[in-house]
Amino acid sequence: MVTRWLGDKKWLFVPAGIFLLIGLFFVLNSSPAYALDESNCLQCHGNAGLTKTDNVGQKVSLYVSEKSINTAAHRYVDCTSCHSAKPHDAAAIPSKESLAQQCGSCHQYEAKLHSQSIHGVQLALGNNEAATCIDCHSADGNPHTIIRTLEYTAPTYKKNIAATCANCHAQEDLMASYGIVEKVYESYMRSFHGKAMELGTYKATELDKATCTNCHGVHDIKAVTDPGSPVAGLDNLSRTCEGCHPGAGVEFAKGFLGHKEASPQNVPAAHYTEIIFSTLLITVVAFGVIIMLLAARKFIANRWKERA
Amino acid sequence: MTTVTRAIPAEKAREEDSITRFDIHQRIQHLFLLLSFVVLVFTGMPMKFAENGVSKWWIGVLGGVEPTRLIHRGAAWVMIVTCVYHVAYLVYNIVVQKKSLTAMVPSKRDFILFIQEIGYFTGLRKEKPRFGRYNWREKFDYWAMFWGIPVMVLSGLVMMFPVFVTNFLPGWVVPVALIAHSDEAMLALTWIVIVHVFFNHFGPGVFPMNPSIFTGKLSRERYMIDHAAEYEKLKG
């Protein structure tokens, strides 16, 4: 085909081939992006075995994975921007709170919102269980592996948010210690919102479904008992619903089961509907199965007799 | 009367040897009910069992949850229109044509025939019950839809327009609609798969299927077996 089209100009294959080879050389020889490392920290800290012994005699890893930092959101922010210009003089290993302050030196708006959130308030009280920046933004709680929210593998990518919250909020014992008895993750995944998210793709344009943060807030998450929470009380809740469901009123919000099972106290109509319909389902299906089995037995017996 | 029921297969019915059982409207109504039902099941069940791997794969094949919902709603409208067609057909035949359509009306006789069939299946009775135009299972299937379809349509519409509905109905109708829709769907599906499919596809002499609802015709021989009482009446 190509030879016919080229006719007697077959020599054109030679420059075309050379062009292709040069192109291939550039494509295949291109190297991945490297993180900015102006002080060559990775020369030592890139070794997986690098550790030190702290003043209580515990081994602490000083390793920073070059592979993950090369794809991290802050790959072009030099190490010394977060660690001081003289990092080896650092007195202590960063705490959860000092880490959050470090992030806040650039991300001031988010830090302010977080400090007023239930997580931030708890953190300021010295509660190390409360979520801070790295708990949500890094898959392994490591500031060096934070990737941008729009990366589909990011723990804060919209489709992954529920699973990220579930890291803590699906731990029954942990939640019980804060008086949160609702199985929030499980009930979300069973809801319209959760199913739509679960069955949806990772396409950013198809993620217009509600996840935890759409109702509860993002950096400014408040306890549901806090009157400032967007889900506290039917008025706040219905206004939050209205954000996505134009015209939704208080009655619409009342249809929400509150992350709980329906019960005689919680939306009794749904509770009794469940009982009526499951009884109906079991009875009718059992009746059908009995009829079918009796008939099948008879039909087989008839066939058997016919053959004999 | 012999107890052997596996007689002549339905599809072997010759033209002159068959009896017209369903008119063109009934056949069209069944066909569209069947098609919409199958589409509704194949789009509804993966949404019910969203956490299942097969559901996720299948919804991916359909192009995501939005196309799935769109197809589900489209099929629902086909089913609704089919039902309206059926009701209009009934009204036309009864009011305008002055026909008395009583064959489907349940009666005490159906209960007797039901007991007789159970007796026959369990071997307590030698003879197959002599059914009329419609046996008790057909009547059950038919009348169950007068419960099932309103439940599915109403609960479906509540979920389709939750904001509009809660303008004048209490908020609990939405979770109630989901429960009713989900359980009633399971009921319809399991009944159809277990009973309807068994008797109309795997019953004696009908495998792979009894095509009379599509062709409208049933062979004289099968009519004698399956609808003995009606057959005698037809012979006069």
Q: Would you kindly state where each structural domain of chain A is located, as residue ranges?
A: 263-287
**CB–CB contacts below 8 A, A to B:** 142
Query: Between chains, do A299 and B204 touch, taking CB under 8 Å as contact?
Result: yes
Phi/psi for A53 (5° steps) reads -110, 120
Q: What percent of chain B has pLDDT over 70?
A: 93
The answer to whether residues A182 and A258 touch, using CB atoms and an 8 Å cutoff, is yes
Structure tokens at A298: 């008879």
Query: Between chains, do A298 and B120 touch, taking CB under 8 Å as contact?
Result: yes
Q: What percent of chain B has pLDDT over 90?
A: 75
Phi/psi for B111 (5° steps) reads -65, -40
Identify which of A255, A267, A295 has the shortest CB distance to residue B166: A255
**pLDDT value at position B3?**
42
How many CB atoms within 10 Å of residue A18?
Answer: 10
Determine which of A96-100, A152-156, B85-89 has the lowest per-residue pLDDT on average. Answer: A96-100
Query: Between chains, do A273 and B179 touch, taking CB under 8 Å as contact?
Result: yes
Q: What is the pLDDT of residues B92-125, one digit of tens each?
A: 999 999 998 888 999 999 999 999 999 999 999 9
The CA–CA distances, whole Å, from A67 to A45, A154, A255, B47 equal: 12, 16, 48, 39
Q: Is the pLDDT of residue B161 over 90?
A: yes
Q: Name A52's bridge partners.
A: A60
pLDDT classification of A182: cutoffs 50, 70, 90: very high
Domain topology for B17-235:
Fumarate Reductase Cytochrome B subunit (1.20.950)
DSSP state of A140: T
Phi/psi for A33 (5° steps) reads -70, 140
Spatial distance between the Cα atoms of A55 and A91, rounded to a whole number of angstroms? 11
Best mutation target among B54, B70, B113, B172 (most A Cβ atoms within 10 Å) is B172
Instruction: Please give the single-letter amino acid code of residue A82.
Output: C
Q: Is the pLDDT of residue A168 over 80?
A: yes
Q: Is the pLDDT of residue A29 over 80?
A: no
Spatial distance between the Cα atoms of A35 and A23, rounded to a whole number of angstroms? 26
Spatial distance between the Cα atoms of A299 and B203, rounded to a whole number of angstroms? 7
B-chain CB neighbours of A270 within 8 Å are 172, 175-176, 179
Query: Between chains, do B183 and A277 touch, taking CB under 8 Å as contact?
Result: yes
Identify which of B4, B64, B123 has the shortest CB distance to residue A306: B4
Range among A67-81, A217-231, B198-212 with highest mean pLDDT value:
A217-231
Contacts of A178 (CB under 8 A, 6+ apart): none
Structure tokens at A60: 């602490």
pLDDT classification of A88: cutoffs 50, 70, 90: confident
B-chain CB neighbours of A252 within 8 Å are 162-163, 166, 171, 174
Query: Between chains, do A255 and B194 touch, taking CB under 8 Å as contact?
Result: no
Q: What angle do CA A44, A48, A52 make, to 5 degrees?
A: 70
How much is the average pLDDT of B140-155? 96
Instruction: Please give the single-letter amino acid code of residue B30.
Output: H
Structure tokens at A79: 């190490």
Beta pairing class for B217-219 and B18-20: antiparallel
The answer to whether residues A292 and B200 touch, using CB atoms and an 8 Å cutoff, is no
Among chain B residues, the shortest Cα distance to A303 is held by B6
What ipTM was reported for this prediction? Answer: 0.88
Determine which of A111-115, A176-180, B5-9, B178-182 has the lowest per-residue pLDDT on average. Answer: B5-9
Q: Is the pLDDT of residue A5 over 90?
A: no
How much is the average pLDDT of B7-33? 78
Spatial distance between the Cα atoms of B76 and B56, rounded to a whole number of angstroms? 22
Å from A175 to nearest chain B CA? 24
Spatial distance between the Cα atoms of A305 and A300, rounded to a whole number of angstroms? 9
Best mutation target among A279, A291, A307 (most B Cβ atoms within 10 Å) is A291
Instruction: Please give the single-letter amino acid code of residue B217.
Output: K
**pLDDT value at position A58?**
86
Spatial distance between the Cα atoms of A146 and B199, rounded to a whole number of angstroms? 61
SS3 A300: helix
Å from A229 to nearest chain B CA? 21
The answer to whether residues A196 and A188 touch, using CB atoms and an 8 Å cutoff, is no
Å from B117 to nearest chain A CA? 9
A-chain CB neighbours of B5 within 8 Å are 299, 302
pLDDT classification of A306: cutoffs 50, 70, 90: confident
CA neighbours closer than 13 Å in the CB half-sphere of residue A151: 13
SS3 B16: helix
pTM: 0.85
**pLDDT value at position B11?**
52
Among chain B residues, the shortest Cα distance to A283 is held by B187
- H or E segment and range at residue A53: strand A51-53
**pLDDT value at position A3?**
64
Å from B104 to nearest chain A CA? 20
Please confirm whether the linkage preceding A87 is cis (ω < 30° from 0). Answer: no
Cα R_g (chain B), whole angstroms: 21
How many CB atoms within 10 Å of residue A152?
Answer: 14
pLDDT classification of B91: cutoffs 50, 70, 90: very high
Q: Which among B158, B148, B155, B230 has a CA at the least distance from the CA of B189?
A: B148
Query: Between chains, do B191 and A285 touch, taking CB under 8 Å as contact?
Result: yes
Spatial distance between the Cα atoms of B11 and B206, rounded to a whole number of angstroms? 8
SS3 B19: strand
Query: Between chains, do A195 and B65 touch, taking CB under 8 Å as contact?
Result: yes
HEC string for A83-101: CCCCHHHCCCCCCHHHHHH
pLDDT classification of A2: cutoffs 50, 70, 90: low
**pLDDT value at position B2?**
39
More confident residue, B220 or B150: B150
DSSP state of B129: P
Structure tokens at B150: 């309103």
**pLDDT value at position B9?**
52
Best mutation target among B163, B202, B206 (most A Cβ atoms within 10 Å) is B163
The structural domains of chain B, with segments of one domain joined by +, span 17-235
Å from A266 to nearest chain B CA? 10
**pLDDT value at position A206?**
84
Burial (CB count <10 Å: 0-12, 13-18, 19+), residue A167: middle
SS3 B234: helix
How much is the average pLDDT of A256-260? 93
Best mutation target among A187, A199, A273, A285 (most B Cβ atoms within 10 Å) is A199
SS3 A120: helix
Q: What is the pLDDT of residues B23-74, one digit of tens each?
A: 999 999 999 999 999 999 999 999 999 999 999 999 999 999 999 999 999 9
Identify which of B170, B195, B203 has the shortest CB distance to residue A251: B170
**pLDDT value at position B1?**
35
B-chain CB neighbours of A281 within 8 Å are 183-184, 186-187, 190
Å from B199 to nearest chain A CA? 8
The answer to whether residues A274 and B179 touch, using CB atoms and an 8 Å cutoff, is yes
Q: Is the pLDDT of residue A7 over 80?
A: no
Query: Between chains, do B64 and A201 touch, taking CB under 8 Å as contact?
Result: yes
- H or E segment and range at residue B143: helix B136-160
Query: Between chains, do A199 and B191 touch, taking CB under 8 Å as contact?
Result: no
DSSP state of B128: P
DSSP state of A2: H
How many CB atoms within 10 Å of residue A234?
Answer: 17
Alpha helices by DSSP H, listed for chain B, are 24-48, 53-62, 65-91, 108-122, 136-160, 162-165, 173-191, 197-201, 212-215, 220-226, 228-235
Range among A9-18, A50-59, A197-206, A228-237 with highest mean pLDDT value:
A228-237
Best mutation target among B176, B182, B201 (most A Cβ atoms within 10 Å) is B176
**What angle do helix axes B136-160 and B173-191 make, rounded to 10 degrees?**
150
How much is the average pLDDT of B207-220? 90
A-chain CB neighbours of B172 within 8 Å are 254-255, 267, 269-270
Phi/psi for A69 (5° steps) reads -70, -25
Among chain B residues, the shortest Cα distance to A267 is held by B172
Give the E-state strand segments of chain B in sequence order. 18-20, 217-219
